[in-house]
Structure 1
Amino acid sequence: MSPAVPGSTARAAPPAGAAPAAPLPAPGPALACDVATALVLWRRDLVRFFRQPSRLAGALGQPLIFWFVIGSGMSGTFRMAGSGTGYLAYFFPGVVLMVVLFASIFTTLSVIEDRHRGFLQGVLAGPGSRAALVAGKTLGSASVALSQAALFLLLAPAAGFPYGSIDWPLLVAALALAAVGLAALGFAVAWFIDNVQGYHAVQMTLLVPLWVISGAMFPVPADRPGFATAMRWNPVSYAVSAARRALAGPDAPGALPGSAARDLAVLAAFAAIALAAAVLSTRRAPRA
């Protein structure tokens, strides 16, 4: 028998007659690892949000000031044919989507921060797949956005929308699909950009037109067919339209032609495409 090598980590053979060593436990199923990874990332983003009081205050204060200042300034000149809706009521669903839009996108800024701190590389080295990474970060960002929107929706009665008259299933479904799609889009952009300043520049160039050309601030001009076409191709327009229907009824002023089911179908397709794009973007190795 060959002598043992000092410092060797080889396991010694069991003595004759001894029971065989128990086999090492097999790794868990891939699905279980993916679910655990996604849940950890989702919970991490939520904990980070609720542990920062300044973000909680800004989640309600900033859109409240924006809604009240612009709404009050425009209320004297806003006129919508065939409707007695005031501008504060018309503008309210648009501000709700503004909260979802900006919160969903800018929460994914943590993708760049986590990469620079090495956390992202640690997740990639773990047992979870890249799809689980996308799912966890997307759900975390979307949950933060929905939390902020929920705070602002506490003001719905002040805008003329009593809680009992709101179609909550439609509103939650529309906001959730929009938040998931926008968060996945933000993840895909953040994966390719290496610095925070560049991310802000790209997203602001993208976000402001998406929100403005959605019917959030004013209805579609009848004499501007190009503007109407841009709104029909803008997924945020369908989120605003669904929110209007949920708050003010199926024939809400400013809602897109069609039905709430069509709005949700477009938002679901947008969320699926954005998630697929985010997963595909992870095939490119992130830079340290």
Structure 2
Amino acid sequence: MSELRGIYTLWLREVKKFVRERSRLVNAFVQPLLWLFIFGTGMRFSATVPGVNYQQFIFPGLVCQAMLFTAMFLGISVIWDREFGFLKEILVSPMSRSSIFCGKMLGVSTDVMIQGVVIFPFAFLIGAQMNVGIFLLSLPVMLLITFGLVCIGLTFASLMKSFEGFGLIQTFINMPMFFLSGALFPLNNVPQWLQVVSLVNPLTYGVDALRTVMIGQSWTGIAPISVDIAVLLVFDVVMFTVGTWAFSRTE
């Protein structure tokens, strides 16, 4: 019970920090708007996707983008906690380090899910198909995507000692994962070498699963949604294991 209480406390702390910083909530609205209505509108006249308009096609990808960038950014909380002494206090507590990592992971994951959910009303502005059923089916897919991404962010933050170093790693991870995920273009139309590289990217399967739920068909050309979900589950388990190991080495 003490472990569960500790996990809950760390989860609550992360959620309160996110909600109280209004700049993050504002960013949750502004960044997707820029991509959806400026980039999406501009590309709509030069990029064609059979069956849907371009804005509807990239909408699931932008949901994943918001979750990716938020998950990586919030990983920096480990460095903040180390800098201000909070991490030292919880590391010397009776809680196991795996429980500490789990509490932070669940807290940050909740923040990331909030960031993803607030984008959904924009679907009505671009005429995308959206209803209660699609929304509810999207949530478990988003949760699977979130867990793995958050674990990546926390893993690298646990190994880094400075904000500058983490910032470089964050950019190095975010951009390739996003642009190679098929968020902005269908992978079944790209050269073979780019498709092979994209299939190594776990976010590819998250974007494809979410797009399948929202639009109704797979866009990778090779993976049905069952394969997408299986890959995401393996990704989550592997990253949670690696993240727990990395966090256990935190000093």
The answer, yes or no, to whether TM exceeds 0.5 is yes
More relative contact order in 1 or in 2 (CA 8 Å, sep 6+)? 2
Pick from 68, 74, 79: which aligns with 2:43? 74
Hey, what's the Cα distance between the residues in 1 that align with 2:139 and 2:122? 16
Pick from 110, 117, 132: which aligns with 1:150? 117
Q: Which position in structure 2 is the counterpart of 1:205?
A: 172
Following TM superposition, by how much is the alpha carbon of 1:60 offset from its aligned partner in structure 2, in angstroms? 0.9
Report if the CA contact (8 A) 1:92-1:159 is conserved: no
Hey, what's the Cα distance between the residues in 2 that align with 1:58 and 1:272? 30
- The alignment status of 1:63 with 2:63, answered yes or no, reads no
Pick from 74, 86, 90: which aligns with 1:119? 86
The alignment's TM-score, normalised by the length of structure 1, stands at 0.83
Q: Which position in structure 2 is the counterpart of 1:96?
A: 63
- The alignment status of 1:180 with 2:147, answered yes or no, reads yes
User: Which structure carries more helix by proportion?
Assistant: 2
RMSD value over aligned CA atoms?
A: 1.5
Hey, what's the Cα distance between the residues in 2 that align with 1:38 and 1:273? 20
The alignment's TM-score, normalised by the length of structure 2, stands at 0.95
Residues 171-208 of structure 1, C-alpha deviations (whole Å, 9 max, x = no match): 11111111111111111100110111110101111110
Following TM superposition, by how much is the alpha carbon of 1:264 offset from its aligned partner in structure 2, in angstroms? 1.0
Within 5 Å, which residues of 2 pair with 1:1-288? Answer: 32-80=1-49, 83-164=50-131, 166-220=133-187, 222=189, 224-249=191-216, 251-252=217-218, 254-286=219-251
Greater radius of gyration (CA) = 1
Hey, what's the Cα distance between the residues in 2 that align with 1:248 and 1:221? 16
Following TM superposition, by how much is the alpha carbon of 1:221 offset from its aligned partner in structure 2, in angstroms? 5.6
Paired AA for residue 275 in structure 1: F
Hey, what's the Cα distance between the residues in 2 that align with 1:93 and 1:223? 19
Following TM superposition, by how much is the alpha carbon of 1:232 offset from its aligned partner in structure 2, in angstroms? 1.2
Hey, what's the Cα distance between the residues in 2 that align with 1:227 and 1:190? 29
Runs of 4+ in structure 1 deviating by more than 6 angstroms, as ranges, are none
Report if the CA contact (8 A) 1:105-1:186 is conserved: yes
Hey, what's the Cα distance between the residues in 2 that align with 1:229 and 1:199? 28
Paired AA for residue 207 in structure 1: N
Paired AA for residue 7 in structure 2: A
Q: 1:215/1:223 Cα in 2 relative to 1: closer, same or farther (>3 Å)?
A: closer
Paired AA for residue 196 in structure 1: F
Report if the CA contact (8 A) 2:188-2:221 is conserved: no
- Corresponding pairs, count: 251
Which ranges in structure 1 are unaligned for 5 or more consecutive residues?
A: 1-31
Hey, what's the Cα distance between the residues in 2 that align with 1:139 and 1:248? 29
Report if the CA contact (8 A) 2:187-2:220 is conserved: no
Hey, what's the Cα distance between the residues in 2 that align with 1:49 and 1:256? 38
Paired AA for residue 280 in structure 1: W
% of aligned pairs identical?
28
